[in-house]
Amino acid sequence: MARIIGGYFTSHVPGIGLAIAKGLKQDAYWRPFFDGLVPVQNWLNEKKPDVAIVFYNDHGLNFFLDTMPLFAVGAADVYHNDDEGWGLPVQQSFQGHPKLSWHIIECLVEDEFDVATCQKMKVDHAVVVPFQLAYPDAASWPVKIIPIAINTVQHPLPSAKRCLALGRAVRKALETWGGDEKIVVMGTGGLSHQLEGERAGFINKDYDLFCLDNLGPHPEALTQHSPVEIVELSGSQGVEILNWIAARGALGLANPLQKHRNYHIPISNTAAATLLLEPAA
């Protein structure tokens, strides 16, 4: 059986990618965030996962408002990166794991999740930036990926409860997989932020800390709010916490160890955070 070695959760703000491209990681504005990734880099270097299952939200690269699935699972051999308008340098492609993707898809459908299956799929900054943070200066990505896109853009959005259930169904699928891969689950996005409208620049530190405090030991606490309530609490883009909730479900541990945590505001008008969870010894 494949073994999930832990969960890595982090922000995917395009500004982070631009800071990397411009060599600003040790700039006073950015350094508190980038320094918070060193323990994650060290952990990944030690654990050496083979596969990453990435819960993220697409920003118009594959899906737009006229065609927006609630959940979409990649089943491609390769995932090419492209920039959807932020001016980010295009990064190296990711290798897929189609056999495992199809196993997950089939199990999700059996568990009555109506997922879109993507045999061709590009990945944007929501996938690339977390990997740039985890594997700085990598000439090629050392893991295969299975991207799972969650709609956090076009209402109606999936509920936090449904996203947690999705993640748990992915975990259940992995328990029946015959391979011996070491797997890391990833949740990307957030935390609280809003890019437009009267609340542009909105940050809710209290809600962010509530999420960070409870995601590991009490993920159900994050499901008490409807998607609209999460938008009210965290901003229109802060609803990306749904990605973290789904990834937490896939982690599947009753009481994981918080290996590392970092929280810093603001980063490009965003509450930026990193969290690393692993099985307790």
Sorted by sequence, the CB contacts under 8 Å of residue 173 that are 6+ apart come out as 103, 104, 107, 108
Q: What are phi and psi of 106, to 5 degrees?
A: -60, -40
In this predicted structure, what is the pLDDT of residue 198?
87
Active-site residue flag, 125: yes
Q: How many CB atoms lie within 10 A of CB 62?
A: 22
In this predicted structure, what is the pLDDT of residue 33?
94
In this predicted structure, what is the pLDDT of residue 137?
85
Question: Annotated catalytic residue: which of 59, 103, 125, 225?
Answer: 125
Q: How far apart are CA 218 and CA 175, in angstroms?
A: 22
Contact present, 245 and 184 (Cβ < 8 Å): no
- The domains of the chain, with CATH numbers, are 3-278 (3.40.830.10)
CA of 111: how far to CAs of 53, 57, 71, in Å?
18, 22, 14
Active-site residue flag, 193: yes
Of the candidates 149, 151, 144, the residue with the CA atom closest to the CA atom of residue 100: 144
Sorted by sequence, the CB contacts under 8 Å of residue 269 that are 6+ apart come out as 193, 195, 200, 201, 203
pLDDT in tens, the chain (281 residues): 789 999 999 999 999 999 999 999 999 999 999 999 999 999 999 999 999 999 999 998 899 888 899 999 999 999 999 988 888 999 999 999 999 999 999 999 999 999 999 999 999 999 999 999 999 989 999 999 999 999 999 999 999 999 999 999 999 999 999 999 999 999 999 899 998 888 888 999 999 999 999 999 999 999 999 999 999 999 999 999 999 999 999 999 888 999 999 999 988 889 999 999 999 76
Sorted by sequence, the CB contacts under 8 Å of residue 262 that are 6+ apart come out as 32, 33, 36, 37, 273, 274, 275
In this predicted structure, what is the pLDDT of residue 281?
65
Question: Annotated catalytic residue: which of 193, 225, 260, 264?
Answer: 193
Give the position of tokens 């969290």. Answer: 275
